[in-house]
Amino acid sequence: MDRRHLSSTFVFLLFLSFFSEVNSASFKIVNRCRHKIWPGLLSGANTPQLPTTGFLLNPGKSRTVTIPRSWSGRLWGRTLCGLDSTRKFVCLSGDCGSGQVECSGSGAKPPATLAEFTLNGAGGLDFYDVSLVDGYNLPMLIVAKGGKGGNCSATGCLLDLNGACPSELRVARKDGGGVGCRSACEAFGDPQYCCSGAFGTPDVCRPSTYSLFFKRACPRAYSYAYDDTTSTYTCASADYVIIFCPPPYSSQKLFGERKDGAVLPLVNKSMIYISSVHANGASLSGK
| Beta strand 24-31 pairing with 239-244 | parallel
Asked if 151 is part of the footprint of ligand NAG (rule: CB under 6 A), the reply reads yes
Q: Is 131 in the site for ligand NAG (CB under 6 A)?
A: no
Distance CA 193, CA 211 (A): 8
By the rule CB under 6 A, 263 interacts with ligand NAG: yes
Partners of 140 in the β-ladder: 157, 244
CB of 125 to ligand NAG, least distance (A): 11
Contact between 262 and ligand NAG by CB under 6 A: the answer reads: yes
- Report the sign of the C-alpha dihedral through residues 63, 68, 69, 70, in that order: negative
Q: Does 268 bind ligand NAG (CB under 6 A)?
A: yes
Is residue 35 close enough to count as binding ligand NAG by CB under 6 A?
no
Return the number of the residue (169 or 271) whose C-beta is nearest ligand NAG: 271
Q: Which residue type occupies 214?
A: F
Q: Does 208 bind ligand NAG (CB under 6 A)?
A: no
**Contact with ligand NAG (CB under 6 A) among 108, 142, 159, 271:** 271
DSSP 3-state assignment of 4? helix
Q: Which residues contact 228 (CB under 8 A, 6 or more apart)?
A: 202, 222
For ligand NAG, the closer of residues 97 and 265 by Cβ is: 265
Residue placing its CB nearer to ligand NAG in the complex, 20 or 230: 230
Q: How far, rounded to the nearest angstrom, does the alpha carbon of residue 205 sit from its chain's CA centroid?
A: 23
Asked if 232 interacts with ligand NAG (CB under 6 A), we say yes
Dihedral pair phi/psi, residue 220, rounded to 5°: -95, -5
Q: Which residues bind ligand NAG (CB under 6 A)?
A: 151, 153, 216, 219, 230, 232-233, 261-265, 268, 270-271
